[in-house]
Each structure stands twice: as structure tokens, then as C-alpha cells.
A and B are shown apart, each in its own frame.
Chain A
Amino acid sequence: MKSSSTVFLAAFLALSASWAGFVLVPQLQLGRVDQAKTVPTGDNYPLARAGLAAQGAAVYRSLGCVYCHSQQVGQDGVKVEVVLLDAGTNADNTLAAIRKVSAELGRPETFIGLPKKITEVADMNAADALLKAVSEAGGKIEANVVPTGPDISRGWGRRRTVAQDYVYDAVVQIGTRRAGPDLANVGTRRADPNWQLRHLYAPAAEIPGSTMPPYRFLFQERKLKFGQHSSPDAIPLVTAGKFLDVSKDTGPADREIVPTEQARVLVAYLLSLQADAPLFESPVTPPPAPVVTTNVVVAK
């Protein structure tokens, strides 16, 4: 019943609709995005990867790491925690102010063990009353935005990843499977390059029971002559002696493991993976900066 032109028209309409929806519009919305500013400090984000890390991205892609590791953090919800930092010089005043806002919180127990979280509220607007009351009474208080979700509870990130995080990825390696942990923030989580190198060489030695294949071909094993020092590039081995391939029982002293260029740039790339900065579309309160030891308590 249908002529070929109807078939063609049907196919054309359906495909152009979905092309417009999932190729054209995303390009218009997200394709020309460049650096954005974090909130509230206004830093540029993201920063382009440094040279070694950029090369490492190519190694990551060529080895197909994306088939086991994802690079995206999910988020199921968000909450606002109100943290009381300091009662101020006039604690009774502060307590009275708090009691005006919430009778339950206006009890002396609230001031035990400061700084501590005193309550959770639905959003920043709901925290306003408390914040105002305590600040005016001279105390120090803050409201932190805390995303929640299994990924975040596992420590894989502080907030969900969004398009802004991938702006400078040459080939976006988001991944759809987790045979291994998520890597979006592995640069903050496992910041030691030697750990990364050891883990690449023998994952099961760093993480017992790991199913990740060892990437020994990224390293060179060199025999050391008696008394010879290991070269500066070699991976520092753990003194427990069990680090190396557990099936071979030779001690660590008679050979050294030197990472190849590929391994080094790959680790540089892994260490550059961070996606924690607070953004407008993915708000989070970053952890406090290092404490300043002066005689005045300053709100973060």
C-alpha cells in the first residue's frame, strides 16, 4: 500500500526529528561551551590538561580503559546541612536567637562539641532564618550543600558530573560499565603516582582480590646486578616484599620495574582526573580551605 516515497518520507521525518533532538540541540546548547566560573569564588573551570596528561588521555583511549571504568559520578538527591561553628562571644544571646527560630534547636546541648552539624534543611532558603539569627547574634554558622547518592557515599566524587566537566576532553571517555571503580575523581582519591604505577603493574597486590588485569607490558623489568642501585625512574617497591607478582617468589631486590613512557603519561592523566569544583548546575559546598591559625575565627 505504501509507495517508496512514503517510506522514504517516514524514515526521513523520524530520523531528522531524532537527529535534531539528540545531535543538533545538544550541539547548540552545550557544544560551544568554554570555561565556566565556579560558584562562588569565580575560578575558571575546567582547566585544560597539561601536556603529559593530554598524552595520557590518548593512552587511556588506546588501551580501552573505558570498557571497565566509567568517568561519571551520579547523584540521587541533595541536602543542606547547617553547621554551627562558633557560639560567638555572647552564647546566651545566640541561644536565644536560635530558640526564636526553632525551639528544638534552642537548647544548651546544641553548643556542645562545636563545630558540628545541628540540623538538615530542605534548601538554602530554609536555612536563611537560622543563618541570619546566629550571625546577627555574633555566632558563626554556615549552610553546606551536600549531594547524596551511592556514588557519592562511596567517595567517588562530591557532586554529580555535568557537561562542563568534559569540555576539554579530546575524546570523552564517559564509560557505561563499572567492572572497576569510577575514575572521575581518581586524581583526588589516589593522588600518589607511585600507587598508580604499582596498581597498573600488579593490581592484585595493591587491592587484594582485584580482577583488573595487570598491565605488565607498560613496564620494563630490569635485572639488577649485585649491589647496583635502582634507577631513579623505577617504582619504589613496598618493603613488605609481597608487592611483586605473587606467583614468583623472588625478592624485590634483584630486579627493578621501570615504567615506560606510556605508563607515565597514563598516570599523569589519571592524576589529572578531578571533577569536584562547585558549579551552578551542580552545586556543592567545597570542603573548607586549610585552617588559618589566628586569634579570630573566620567563617569559611
Chain B
Amino acid sequence: MNADSQPSCPPSTGAEPTAAMTAMPVWIVAVMLTLLFLGGWYFDVYGGWFEANVYGPYHSVADVMRFQPPKGGLDAVLSLGRKLFQENCAVCHMETGIGNPANGCPPLVDSEWVKSPTPTRIAMIISKGLAGPITVNGKPYGTGVMLAVGDSLMGDEKEKAEKIAAIATYVRFQFGKVAVETKPAQVQAVRAGIKDRTSNFSVGDLMKSPE
């Protein structure tokens, strides 16, 4: 569609349009300024001021913070501990903690090891596992080997300590009715003392450490 090779180029139909230089109606500018103001107000209230973490209906990060689950506290640790127990321990010890005598898996319910005054031994068992016979509530369990479940949890040393502490808290609360939180610091201290150990504990080793 080029203008070169036309047989008859028609003359342009009249002059090209021009634009009058009359002034603009002011009301349009007024409308625009009003809308800009309203828009600015709307952004201020609802826009979250460029925060990447603020999604409607929340208006600001402080708003989102108001609905976060309570951090810490026994309940949070218990729920984490219960989750980890179900994932890692319930396989052998059963969800109800009654154990599996046929496999040599001792119960946790009312176990004196669970109810001991400090969580030291529990932390040791969870970290490095247990091999060899053990007596729980007067009954012997001899054939099973508990693997070093604690060592094989995901995460770095700090996260492992947190997770083992949560499991210990849950086990002691749920099966031993000990309503005292096991702190990650306690577990870290225990693990620091045993960190070079590569084999499972035996009952003899456990008895050597304080209750």
C-alpha cells in the first residue's frame, strides 16, 4: 500500500485538521485532583505502604502480627513435639506410647525413665539411641535397638536441640504427666557432652549420668 505507483493519486481531501488552542476546561483538572487525593488516601489506608508481606484484608505488618499464633509457651512446644513424635517415634513406641513388646520396644506410659526428675537421660536416648536390655516398670525389654533418631533429625545443631526438646517435653507431659517444659538449652548442654559418641547408649551408660 504505497503511494508511489498509483495510477491516479487523488488530491488530499481538504486541509489537514488543526488543533484549536483554546484553554482546557478547569473542571476536568479539578476532578483529577480530587480523585488523586482520594486515591492517595485509599493507598495510605489499604496499601500497606509497599510492604511485601501485607496482603488484603490486612492493612500493615502490625495488622498481620495481631493474628500470628502465640510463639513459645508450653502449648506451642507440645504441638510441635506431638507432630515430631508422630513422625519419628510413634512407629515403634505407638501413638499411645504403649510400646511394642513383640519388637522389644518398651512403653513410655508411666515409664520411670520418662518421669525422671531431669530430661537428661531422655535427651541422651533420643539423641544417640539405645541398645541392649532395659527394664521399664519392672518388665525387661531386651531385643530391640533404638536408632539415633535425634541425630538424624533435619536441621543444624540448634534446630535439632529445639526439636529434641519439643519431643522430650511432649513425651514427659503426655506419658509421664510431667508438665515442665524441656528447654532447648538443656538439650544442647547434654548433646555438647555426648557429641563425639558414635554408638548407641546402653543402660549402663545412662546410669552413669545423673538423673
Contact = CB atoms under 8 A, between A and B. Distances in A.
Give yes or no for direct A-B contact (beta carbon below 8 Å). yes
Interface of A: 25, 29-30, 39-42, 75-78, 80, 123-125, 131, 135, 142-143, 145, 160, 162-163, 278, 280-283, 285, 289, 292-294, 296, 298-300
A131 B76 CA distance: 13
A30 B52 contact: yes
Given A293-B96, A296-B177, A281 B55 contact: yes
B31 to A, nearest CB: 20
Contact of A292 (B58, B68, B95): B95
A280 B61 CA distance: 10
A298 B66 CA distance: 25
User: Which secondary structure characterizes the binding site on chain B?
Assistant: loop
Contacts of A30: 52
Contact of B75 (A42, A283, A299): A299
Interface in B64-108: 64, 66-71, 74-76, 78-80, 82-83, 86, 95-97
B167 to A, nearest CB: 13
A89 B204 CA distance: 40
B54 interface: yes
Contacts of A25: 50
Given A123-B67, A281-B64, A299 B96 contact: no
B63 to A, nearest CB: 9
B80 A80 contact: no
B17 interface: no
A40 B97 CA distance: 25
A184 B76 CA distance: 28
In this complex, the member of B56, B70, B96 whose beta carbon has the largest number of chain A beta carbons within 10 angstroms is: B70
A90 B142 CA distance: 42
Interface residues of B, number: 33
B174 interface: yes
B22 interface: no
Given A40-B69, A145-B69, A289 B53 contact: no
A285 B76 CA distance: 12
Contacts of A300: 75, 79
A84 B96 CA distance: 24
Given A75-B56, A124-B69, A281-B54, A41 B86 contact: no
A298 B67 contact: no
Interface of B: 50, 52-58, 64, 66-71, 74-76, 78-80, 82-83, 86, 95-97, 109, 170, 173-175, 177
Nearest to A30: B52
Nearest to B75: A299
Given A296-B174, A300-B79, A80 B96 contact: no
Nearest to A126: B66
Contacts of A124: 66-70
User: Which secondary structure characterizes the binding site on chain A?
Assistant: loop
A202 to B, nearest CB: 38
B57 A78 contact: yes
Contacts of B76: 40
Given A77-B57, A283-B64, A296-B174, A289 B69 contact: no
Contact of A40 (B55, B67, B71, B96): B71
A298 B57 contact: no
Contact of A294 (B50, B54, B58, B96): B96
Contact of B96 (A123, A135, A162, A292): A292
Contacts of B69: 39-40, 124, 145, 278, 283, 285
B55 A283 contact: no
Contact of A299 (B50, B53, B79): B79
A145 B67 contact: yes
Contacts of A125: 66
Nearest to B63: A123
Contacts of B86: 289
